[in-house]
Amino acid sequence: MIICYFGDSLTLGYGDPSGLGWPGRVSGKLASLGVDVTSYNLGVRQDATTRMAKRWKAEAEPRRMPSREYKLVFSFGVADQSNKVAPADSLAAAEAMLTEAMDMGEVLLVGPPPVSNPETTRRIGTLSEQFAGLCERLGLPYVPVIDAMLAHPVYGKALEDGDGAHPSALGYAVLAECILESEPARDFFGLE
């Protein structure tokens, strides 16, 4: 299985000294379960959906192998807030990316997590709900993480230990666990 992870600095794992972020932990867990996995973390700092839409395909194409299961995992939305991207523009870019990605392989969208700033988190929550509606319309699996991370006793502290937008390594571990425990992700990755 080949997995390409596309997203912003939260996908990249910025602030995680191990360099794993949540994608490295998800792929590591799959490997520990015996899945033959090759993963590519293609997260870019400050990469809003509008910019990601211009780069993702050129990075995804050379990583495909005809004989291997090919999966594309996207996660975006937080950098859209810091870059002041209008929600309508975020949704349009997301729809364009996800629709085109469906022609390349299986697609999963992981929703944006919260940040320390309550107003920014409120906007992220609204965007997450819009992404959920988009995925439902496109027939794609969606893993909303914002509510689970807001309720998790460790994630808030991990944000404090990070920079308020990027958690510490422990926060990335909690986020990966949340993703892997979700039914959409378990189905997507073929976990029982």
Q: Which tokens in the block code for residue 92? A: 């349009």
Q: How many residues does the chain have?
A: 192
Cα–Cα dist 28/26, whole Å: 5
Q: Which tokens in the block code for residue 132? A: 């959920």
Cα–Cα dist 73/146, whole Å: 17
- Domain extent for 176: 2-189
Cα–Cα dist 178/161, whole Å: 19
In the chain the first and final C-alpha atoms are separated, in Å, by 16
Contact 89, 22 (CB under 8 A): no
**E strand or H helix that includes residue 64:** none
At residue 90, the pLDDT reads 98
Q: What is the CATH number of the domain that holds 179?
A: 3.40.50.1110
Contact 111, 77 (CB under 8 A): yes
Q: What percent of the chain has pLDDT over 90?
A: 98
> pLDDT category, 192, cuts 50, 70, 90?
confident
> pLDDT category, 66, cuts 50, 70, 90?
confident
Helices 87-101 and 118-138, interaxial angle, to 10°?
40
At residue 44, the pLDDT reads 98
Q: What is the CA radius of gyration of the chain?
A: 15
Contact 134, 93 (CB under 8 A): no
What are the tens digits of pLDDT across the range 113-145? 999 999 999 999 999 999 999 999 999 999 999
Between 67 and 107, residue with greater pLDDT: 107
Domain count, the chain: 1
Contact 130, 91 (CB under 8 A): yes
What are the tens digits of pLDDT across the range 73-127? 999 999 999 999 999 999 999 999 999 999 999 999 999 999 999 999 999 999 9
